[in-house]
Structure 1
């Protein structure tokens, strides 16, 4: 369309405030399409303030990595407001050691770099003292309003000499100073064996939880100290993931043949059940060709969440990585489950799937230069 289009002209005749109100109700994929209607529409869309619905409805990102051919890499983003998947440019991300968190992608080894998810433009940081593969990573705001990165755990970078001082040290990065600060390491309980971990940022603390060990501890982002290690295991739990969602800590995991969500109380680590996934959704996420009941088939499920949403999906290539959503209403204490549409075909089979959820604003689409500045905006 052009600015002289009759429909566009009638819309342009509306009061600017009315126009902004109408456009602010639309999901981001629609805004991207409508931004090409006219210069006025694009100007209004780019200047729209962040939508409360966007912050409470994070997108699910899937980055599929093929070990032998980057040509087969694929990346997808799911917008819950429009209930649709978007294909992202697969050539825009490196294949090695990719991590995602809070609107940014990170490569962690051999050099550490980061880029906005939707507008790839990679920036290398100063050298990390202890390079890590697949660490836990979070973006947090300081009291002064700036943002920092916290890097916890992970595996030693392959090809690097073993350093006896490296006890899975915590490393905090300041983008303004381009410097890394070495902090107290993970408690020893988390360092025995190949222990998969999950994490959540909540109430100015970075929580770490053992997916199979059920150990939990928090790192205070103001004092840079670890809390005592506790055990968090609802009855019958076989594995679980920790998330910060709907203004609370949420644990999501398998109990036998049931996927449950629990609210976790800080300090006491007491838990209370808030939701159970409907059985038809749960078994739609796994392969049911084998009629025998086998709890191991749920081991490829993963749970990520923020805002008011929890995503549960299968990281194995079963029916093209099926997923479902739980929308949590913290005020009313109600939860609503629904399926996520199938990924757009064709979908390759990947050797590794990098997955996370993140809030997305219209500025992430149009203002790549603003999201790439030194202080990483949370």
Structure 2
């Protein structure tokens, strides 16, 4: 058998491309040749196409002692958690720290952003309406440059907030460091315009806003800059639900009460008509494994995020150390498979607020993070 050191660099590159990202991080430290292969932009693009399942990010914030903040990332291919560093910005602005679509954001008092695994913070020009706890999305309008859309939230003036103000949509273009104003959320959402009562999804050139409890839904056309008519998207028996943009379309995920009891269901949503059809139900034993009590409102702590073919459901209460499960939707057949996500690597602190989102991950960003900070630890 030929030793791997005697193989050509092309063959070594091919072998390495089959490894999951956490293993590649360790492999990049073996020798200079392996590091040069793994850190190359071409290899990063190859691994992104092979390992394109979105990671699950979980960020715990401790309001009293920021040193207890913790950040984790779950790689579904290797079935491993990574322990991420917490950033000074995260510790200073807990109430306005948000993550989505591959970026971290701070919305007040200044709007700042950074890529999730390459924490170089950049402040933008001031928002027209400074705000906390808004909905945020990242999109590409064809210019190959990520733009940010900020919707809703609570107005931030000095150290005070104004919950009555209906804030306009703002879209940031990093090429010009400028914010474009758009129409505010429709009046139907005024009583709950922050991310605590709304979910959002980017799909087909539209930014969808959905009421977790009200079930109101409307979409903002990113080209025309207008809102659609507000509709109600409420399957029978739904208590609360989240709207998620998957690879093939919109999916609604939430708790449903029927005569047979409570269940967690998924519905496929037609984005043109807003009609829905059920596609899957979480196995009952898996659902109840996320809790350790028989409280009537125990399901209220469930949160749901998703991207691509994966939907993650987790309990944001500490009782079972933030347990989670994942549903994978087969792009071809539409069939769903469920599994439990491994427990977070201990020790895990008790948090006042948990932030979660999904994002695909670039190997290049991870290696850049490790090279500059040396703090990414694989468990």
- TM-score normalised per structure 1: 0.90
Contact in 1 for aligned 2:152/2:193 (Cα 8 Å): no
Residue of 59, 63, 66 corresponding to 1:63: 59
Matches of 1:67 and 1:160 in 2, distance apart? Answer: 16
User: Residue 46 of structure 1: CA displacement?
Assistant: 1.1
User: Residue 166 of structure 1: CA displacement?
Assistant: 5.0
User: Residue 307 of structure 1: CA displacement?
Assistant: 1.4
- Tell me the secondary structure at the aligned position of residue 350 of structure 1: coil
Alignment of 1:162-311 (within 5 A): 166-193=165-192, 196-256=197-257, 257-288=262-293, 290=294, 294=296, 296-311=297-312
Matches of 1:307 and 1:194 in 2, distance apart? Answer: 26
Match of 1:3 in 2: none
Task: Summarize the Cα distance change of 1:66–1:186 in structure 2 as closer, same or farther, 3 Å threshold.
Answer: same
Consecutive unaligned residues of structure 1, counting only runs of 5 or more, are 1-6, 370-378
- Structure 1, 300-309 or 136-145: larger mean CA deviation: 136-145
Matches of 2:169 and 2:215 in 1, distance apart? Answer: 20
CA distances 1:60-105 after superposition (whole Å, capped 9, x unpaired)? 1111111111111111111111101111112455132111111110
- TM-score normalised per structure 2: 0.90
Does 2:42 align with 1:52?
A: no
Match of 1:376 in 2: none
Matches of 2:252 and 2:344 in 1, distance apart? Answer: 26
Match of 2:109 in 1: 110
Matches of 1:304 and 1:60 in 2, distance apart? Answer: 8
User: Residue 162 of structure 1: CA displacement?
Assistant: 7.5
- Tell me the secondary structure at the aligned position of residue 365 of structure 1: helix
Matches of 2:307 and 2:168 in 1, distance apart? Answer: 26
Across the aligned residues of Structure 1 and Structure 2, the Cα RMSD in angstroms comes to 2.1
Matches of 1:168 and 1:230 in 2, distance apart? Answer: 21
User: Residue 287 of structure 1: CA displacement?
Assistant: 2.1
- Tell me the secondary structure at the aligned position of residue 61 of structure 1: strand
Matches of 1:336 and 1:106 in 2, distance apart? Answer: 32
Matches of 1:124 and 1:100 in 2, distance apart? Answer: 16
User: Residue 160 of structure 1: CA displacement?
Assistant: 5.9
User: Residue 186 of structure 1: CA displacement?
Assistant: 0.6
- Structure 1, 109-118 or 94-103: larger mean CA deviation: 94-103
Matches of 1:366 and 1:159 in 2, distance apart? Answer: 38
Matches of 1:71 and 1:92 in 2, distance apart? Answer: 10
Task: Summarize the Cα distance change of 1:165–1:223 in structure 2 as closer, same or farther, 3 Å threshold.
Answer: farther
User: Residue 349 of structure 1: CA displacement?
Assistant: 0.4
Contact in 2 for aligned 1:54/1:361 (Cα 8 Å): no
Task: Summarize the Cα distance change of 1:181–1:166 in structure 2 as closer, same or farther, 3 Å threshold.
Answer: farther
How many residue pairs match? The answer is 357
Residue of 75, 78, 96 corresponding to 1:79: 75
Matches of 2:163 and 2:354 in 1, distance apart? Answer: 31
Contact in 1 for aligned 2:200/2:209 (Cα 8 Å): yes
- Tell me the secondary structure at the aligned position of residue 29 of structure 1: helix
Consecutive unaligned residues of structure 2, counting only runs of 5 or more, are 371-379
Match of 1:373 in 2: none
Matches of 2:363 and 2:193 in 1, distance apart? Answer: 40
User: Residue 15 of structure 1: CA displacement?
Assistant: 2.6
